Structure 1
Amino acid sequence: MTGDAHRSELGDFLQARRAELSPDTVGLPGVGPRRRVRGLRREEVAALASISTDFYTRLEQGRRRASEEVLAAIARVLRLSDDERAYVFELSGREQQTGRPSRPQAHPQLRRLLGDLATTPAVVLGRRTDILAWNPMAAALFTDFGRLPEKDRNFVRLVFCDQGVRALYPHWEHAARNGVAQLRREAARDPSDPELTALVEELSALDEDFRRWWTAHQVAVRGAGVNEVRHPVVGDLTLDWAALVCTADPDQQLFTWTADPGTPSHDAIRRLASRLTTA
């Protein structure tokens, strides 16, 4: 089978699989009786996989190739079996990793970008809020992530379980509930994700607040917001955070914390950066 034939077969296969799924199956709201498309629409698959509709459309049309990460995301959305998932990777000319890795690696371009943000705290988060990479400013603002065991490098876990990180938030409940809501939103993308299930079970056993807020089923999308931080060195900060999706790997996001120039928080962040430079 030629490359074009492989891509055509992949498109036909993806169309057939999404036609078998209903919106209710993947946690989408009801759409009423007048639904002209059998199964899921292309834009619905794309949204659940955190890729653009145009990208997914061209993938089904055989005009694009997808990375291993994107294929894995689509496989999760379409509820593919192990055999079906292997078939998708084979048609795409990609090698499927044997077994699910405990922690993905931050995309190389995101790592380079972290290094260029000398005065801006920034981290790369995976879909379960695993901290995949960080810059020195993020370590100075929150904690020295490098001293933590890899399994503990999870932002929501730190907010609940690390007393030093917890103390940084004067309005801790607001920050913690928002983290739970973001995790709950991610759980809808892959309810059978064993790593996410294990994290939720662990935090539910360790913290009564987490257990109560998880069962409340509040959801939030990681986009942008405001954090108030009470830093032990530079004092109280009001920081705008933003989550930027890596188009090469939609499961990874670059989180940054910034402040408006001329504000006390901006000056404090600069002082923190200066201390790092001096050190």
Structure 2
Amino acid sequence: MAEDERTEIRRELGAFLRSRRARLSPRDAGFAGEARRRTPGLRREEVAHLAGVGVTWYTWFEQGRDIQVSTQFLECISRALRLDATEREHLFGLAQNRPPPRGPSSAPEIAPALRRMLASIPGPAYLTTARWDVLAWNESLSAVFGDLESTPPAHRNMLWLVFTYPAYAARMTEWESDARSMLARFRVEFGRHRDDAAFGQLVRELKEASADFRRWWPEQDVLAPGEGVKRFQHPVAGEIEFEHTSFVVDGGSDLRLVVYTPLPGANARKVEKLRRAARER
């Protein structure tokens, strides 16, 4: 990165910090109110006090001096300035040119509009977390792969289904290659969420439940999310081909929409027939 570009980023960082500092009320932050202040919000020394960092170091940081700061320092500043998740990510991007570390995740709330959109998709589709826990799915998914409603909530996880549910795995015509690909993509999320105990717990449980998972996990394969054609074998409809795509949900806290679009012709007709049969049951 060129020096003038780094200088501009440091200016942007300083302006962002000053704007966040200016919006905080001294009284709300626990400082005695004064009749008048020359500047709105908190002073630099007050931010440093709340963050538990040196006044000089914070001043240099806000002034945009060319100094190196730690992740812990940025976390302390984030808490002191009461930054929300988006602001925290912006701070880390300006200061370290990378996103902040990811902490323990919780299941996000799914907006009604998102549920309606999911229901409108003709092919099988579902919403999943970074840990691959399935939070919601549509009618086509139930018709083609089986209704997840009958699956215990703790087992509504794509890795768990693929590695421990023979009935689900039997529908995957290329089970081993697809399972290995899923495992390699999951390892990327595992690395991103290394501080989230729920990821480690899932790995330990899968090691106990699946010999294949136990054998392949140490291989350290990683794979970026991808698209492509997937083939499944339905016990009644026979083989069905889908185009597999996935999308990150904006503001969804690692929520991802996964869609299986049936290829035109017989594949689409088979899915529609299965949907109608499921409604009649």
TM-score normalized with structure 1 length: 0.65
User: What is the aligned counterpart of 1:113 among 113, 117, 140?
Assistant: 117
CA–CA distance in 2 between the matches of 1:259 and 1:277? 19
Query: Contact conserved, 1:223 with 1:244, CA < 8 A, in 2?
Result: no
> What secondary structure is seen at the aligned counterpart in 1 of 2:83?
helix
Matched, 1:179 2:193: no
Q: Which residue is 2:276 aligned to?
A: 274
Structure-to-structure mapping, 1:1-279, within 5 angstroms: 5-6=19-20, 86-87=79-80, 90-92=82-84, 103-117=107-121, 119-262=122-265, 264-279=266-281
Query: Contact conserved, 2:104 with 2:195, CA < 8 A, in 1?
Result: no
Q: Sort the Cα spacing of 1:208 and 1:136 in 2 relative to 1 into closer, same or farther, 3 A.
A: same
CA–CA distance in 2 between the matches of 1:215 and 1:107? 38
CA–CA distance in 2 between the matches of 1:212 and 1:9? 54
Which structure would you say has the larger Rg?
A: 2
2:268 counterpart letter in structure 1: H
Q: Sort the Cα spacing of 1:6 and 1:181 in 2 relative to 1 into closer, same or farther, 3 A.
A: same
Query: Contact conserved, 2:104 with 2:193, CA < 8 A, in 1?
Result: no
Identical aligned residues as a percent: 30
User: RMSD value over aligned CA atoms?
Assistant: 3.5
Query: Contact conserved, 1:7 with 1:91, CA < 8 A, in 2?
Result: no
State the Cα deviation string for residues 35-78 of structure 1 (Å, max 9, x = none): xx9879xxxxxxxxxxxxxxxxxxxxxxxxxxxxxxxxxxxxx5
CA–CA distance in 2 between the matches of 1:153 and 1:230? 21
Return 5+ residue gaps in structure 2 as ranges: 1-16, 25-46, 48-56, 58-65, 87-102
| Greater RCO structure (CA 8 Å; 6+ sep) | 1
Query: Contact conserved, 1:107 with 1:249, CA < 8 A, in 2?
Result: no
Query: Contact conserved, 1:6 with 1:92, CA < 8 A, in 2?
Result: no
CA–CA distance in 2 between the matches of 1:215 and 1:7? 47
CA–CA distance in 2 between the matches of 1:107 and 1:261? 31
Q: How many residues align?
A: 212
Shift of 1:259: 2.2
Return 5+ residue gaps in structure 1 as ranges: 17-36, 41-77
1:201 counterpart letter in structure 2: R
State the Cα deviation string for residues 162-211 of structure 1 (Å, max 9, x = none): 12101111211012111111110111212121111100111112212112
Query: Contact conserved, 1:141 with 1:231, CA < 8 A, in 2?
Result: yes
> What secondary structure is seen at the aligned counterpart in 1 of 2:224?
coil
2:190 counterpart letter in structure 1: A
CA–CA distance in 2 between the matches of 1:218 and 1:93? 31
1:92 counterpart letter in structure 2: D
1:258 counterpart letter in structure 2: T
> What secondary structure is seen at the aligned counterpart in 2 of 1:238?
strand
Query: Contact conserved, 1:241 with 1:256, CA < 8 A, in 2?
Result: yes
Shift of 1:113: 0.8
